[in-house]
Amino acid sequence: MNFDGNFYNPSEEVVNNAHIKDWNKLNKFASENPEKFWTSMAEELHWFKKWDKFLDESNAPFYQFFVNAKTNITYNCLDVHKNSYRRNKLAYIWEGEDGSTRSISYNELYNEVCKFSNVLKSMNVQKGDIVTIYMGRVPELVIAMLACARIGAVHSVVYGGFSTESLHERIEDSVSKVVITCDGAYQRGKLVNLKDITDGAVDRSGVVQHVICVKRTGQEVNMLAGRDMWYHELMQLPIASIHCKAEQTDAEDPLFILYTSGTTGKPKAILHTHGGYMVGVYASLKYVFDIKDEDRYWCAADPGWITGHSYIVYGPLLNGTTSIIYEGAPNFPFPDRWWEIVEKYGVNILYTAPTAIRGLMRFGDAWAKRHDLSSLRLLGSVGEPINPEAWRWYNEVIGDGKCPIMDTWWQTETGMFMITPMPCMPLKPGSGTKPFPGIEMDILDEEGNSVADNEEGFLVIKNPWPSMMRTIYGNDERYVEQYWQKYPGMYMTGDSARRDSDGYYWVIGRVDDVIKVSGYRLGTAEIESALVSYPDVAEAAAIGLPHELKGNAIHCFVILKSGVTNADELPDKLKLHIRHEVGPIAVPEKIEIVDKLPKTRSGKIMRRVLKAQALGQDPGNLSTLED
Ligand code: WT7
């Protein structure tokens, strides 16, 4: 890329080889005629029956897309490729943390998914049933997700780093009859016993009838007769045939739910559907990461998050690409593990998070320089704003100055990239450039007016888009209240941003009580409720403060119950408690014991005051402060 003082411009070669060479032209077409734009993308996919209508807005904000169409996302992920020249192309190359490897072709993936679909059917899993999946980063996780979707069941993947408590809550909330797990997972050379954690969640739950366990580590686990079954044994039964027709799902039938943290209360289940979600992730991956048939693409996220759902599982398979899945940590056993993988498999596209980039940058350039990374053609970033220093390192040391960086802004709720460059666009480090064609966004002040250039405001989305969430599962009111109430007719992202005079968006961060820690999304409410569930704690407040590696780190303030002694050891005990209640990702950086918390007269904790105090900034308007 050539830097002209304002923009990093892609080379002529990059532009000439890209699917989209003229972003402005595509954007103009899409904004003047969104229906034509989206339906032309939909036409590239298979439908058992086409739609009667592209968009039904009659019950907004409960929008419907591709009304009355019939499809099944797995038909487009599997059958279409199996019936084409891609039959024996690799769908996945998997590398375990321990060095073991597996290659899975489209044909083989099709067979495995059909087999497991039949297993699920034999357990009486039916269309619309929710199945919880709690696993490490192994191919069976993808197979399990696809098998659910194939029979019209709804998967609910819970990230393997969550605790028993969090898993229990999600199983209960979604009323899952079946849970799929592993015996264990490798984590920096250590074994984590996932089956134990699952048992802890399932034993207390009245809803689970069966637990299916994938053998990954071979460690000793308890198998409860009648309830627990080994995946590999089920897959050998005659019932597990390699033929299973994809259920003809309605475009609006649910595909999955995924829990994510919100502003208040418990994590909420974001619901996505077969039709619109499919079109959105297919089109966005194709154009943004410019997928070509010969590419090897690596999204280094965890399939347990939306990034993995959209851009490890569905997007890449819809595009018939070959993806890498790596099981372990980026710096295990050495800080060049990722660069070794890029070289070994000839990865062309690498998509990761700023926190990982900063983490690897810290070890110096030499680890990357030991490897031939010349196969890379595009890089990507997601999860939080990328600081210009990390952007430049990623560009220069990893991309050798020739790989455009796709800084993609989106959310669990949006399903797909919303603010993102395409390879043909000039870049600015730290900006995701402009909204994806067909998406209309704006930045508003408190009253709902667009702010001037370079001014900060609330980031909103002004028109519905196919891959948008449909609701919060089981809580339509909360869906309306949380996303559509502040500015009627517009979707509230919960982020603040500014737009510069070139029309480029700069996302600043959350304006609600969500904290992004190493790209993970956590709610202050979850951390606080874990803290007050500890017997010695009377009240608690959690805030996010800037952190060099993690982006933000959690800082907590607690008031103890009267008469509590031994307060010195309490912060450490509380950290352990949060690890048990929520999971290791939620462990605070610091816990301070205080006598008082700033509150409004109605008793709400004023976190912004705590934050300003901690940062030595002006706390702003204090008129509502109680004392
Ligand atoms: C929040 C959504 C969607 C994939 C991963 C996160 C922040 C995400 C960026 C980016 C600045 C970003 C926002 C957003 N975010 N990508 N490129 N630049 N901020 O999904 O867990 O639902 O979190 O992540 O704050 O609201 P998520």
Backbone angles phi, psi at 163, to 5 degrees: -85, 170
Is residue 189 left, alpha or beta, with left meaning phi > 0 and alpha meaning psi from -120 to 50?
Answer: left
Give the atom of ligand 1 at the shortest distance from the alpha carbon of 408: 17
Which residues lie below 8 Å from residue 49, measured CB to CB, with a gap of 6+?
Answer: 68, 69, 70, 248
Q: Is the CB of 136 under 6 A from ligand 1?
A: no
Question: Phi-psi category of 111—alpha, beta or left, where left has phi over 0 and alpha has psi -120 to 50?
Answer: alpha
Distances, alpha carbon 490 to alpha carbons 66, 264, 273, 438, 447, in Å: 21, 20, 21, 15, 13
The reported pLDDT for the residue numbered 264 is: 76
- Of the listed ranges 235-249, 476-490, 563-577, the one predicted with least confidence: 563-577
Ligand 1: which atom is nearest the Cα of residue 413?
Answer: 22
Nearest CA to ligand 1 atom 17: 409
423 CB near ligand 1 (under 6 Å): no
For the chain, the first-to-last Cα distance in angstroms comes to: 55
Cα–Cα distance between 366 and 370 in angstroms, integer? Answer: 6
Note the pLDDT of residue 601.
87
N residues, the chain: 627
Report which ligand 1 atom has the smallest distance to the Cα of 407: 17
Nearest one of 611, 592, 609, 591 to 600, comparing CA atoms? 609
Query: Tokens in use for 79?
Result: 């059958």
With contact defined as beta carbons under 8 Å apart, do 517 and 548 qualify?
no
Residue 120 pLDDT greater than 80, yes or no: yes
Mutate to test the pocket of ligand 1, among 285, 299, 410, 483 (most ligand atoms within 8 A of CB): 410
Measured in Å, residue 383 CA sits from the centre of ligand 1 at 4
Query: Above pLDDT 90, what percent of the chain?
Result: 95
Say if CB 492 and CB 458 are below 8 A apart. Answer: yes
Task: Look at ligand 1, atom 5, and give the residue with the nearest C-alpha.
Answer: 383
How far is the C-alpha of 596 from the C-alpha of 336, rounded, in Å?
47
Expressed in angstroms and rounded, the spacing between residue 126 Cα and the centre of ligand 1 is: 33
Per DSSP, the three-state class of 101 is strand
Q: What type of residue is 534? A: Y
pLDDT tens digit sequence for 600-614: 888 889 998 999 999
Contact call for residues 448 and 315 (beta carbons, < 8 A)? no
Quick one: the chain helix, strand, coil %, rounded to 5?
Answer: 30, 25, 45
The reply to whether ligand 1 has any atom less than 6 angstroms from the CB of 521 is yes
pTM score: 0.96
pLDDT (tens digit per residue) in 329-385 = 999 999 999 999 999 999 999 999 999 999 999 999 999 999 999 999 999 999 999
- As given in the structure block, the two tokens for residue 43 are 């036409």
Residue 408 CA to residue 421 CA, distance in Å, equals 7
pLDDT over 80 at 263, yes or no: no
- In this structure, the strands spanning 491-499 and 457-461 are antiparallel
Query: Structure tokens of 157?
Result: 């993947």
Residue range 402-457, pLDDT digits in tens: 999 999 999 999 999 999 999 999 999 999 999 999 999 999 999 999 999 999 99
407 lines ligand 1 (CB under 6 A): yes
Over residues 6-25, the mean pLDDT reads 97
In short, whether 506's Cβ falls inside 6 Å of ligand 1 is no
In contact, 124 and 169? CB cutoff 8 Å: no
Q: How confident is the model at residue 623 (pLDDT cuts 50, 70, 90)?
A: confident
Indicate the range of 173-177, 265-269, 476-480 predicted with least confidence: 265-269
Q: Which atom of ligand 1 is nearest to the CA of 381?
A: 17
Q: Give the Å distance between the CA of 257 and the centre of ligand 1.
A: 18
**Two tokens, residue 287:** 């154009």
Rounded CA Rg of the chain: 24
Query: Does an H or E element contain 461, and which?
Result: strand 457-461
> What pLDDT shows up at residue 627?
67
- Give the distance (Å) from ligand 1 centre to CA of residue 505: 14
| Arithmetic mean of pLDDT, 241-268 | 94
Determine whether the shortest distance from the Cβ of 408 to ligand 1 is under 6 A. Answer: yes
Model confidence at 621, pLDDT cuts 50, 70, 90, reads confident
The two three-digit tokens of residue 28, written as one number: 């103009």
Averaged confidence pLDDT in the chain: 96
H-run or E-run covering 166: helix 164-174
Q: Give me the mean pLDDT over the 530-550 stretch.
A: 95
Give the three-state DSSP class for 448. coil
**528 ligand 1 Cβ < 6 A:** no
- Which residues, other chains included, contact 334 with Cβ-Cβ below 8 Å and sequence gap of 6+? 367
pLDDT in tens, 165-192: 999 999 999 999 999 999 999 999 999 9
Between CA 432 and CA 439 the distance in angstroms is 14
Two tokens, residue 119:
């297993």
What residues contact residue 450 under an 8 Å CB cut-off, 6+ apart? 442, 443, 444, 457
Residue type, 506: W
Does residue 487 have a pLDDT over 80? yes
The CB of 494 under 6 Å from ligand 1? The reply is: yes
**Range name among 44-53, 247-256, 520-529, 599-608 with the lowest pLDDT average:** 599-608
262, pLDDT greater than 90: no
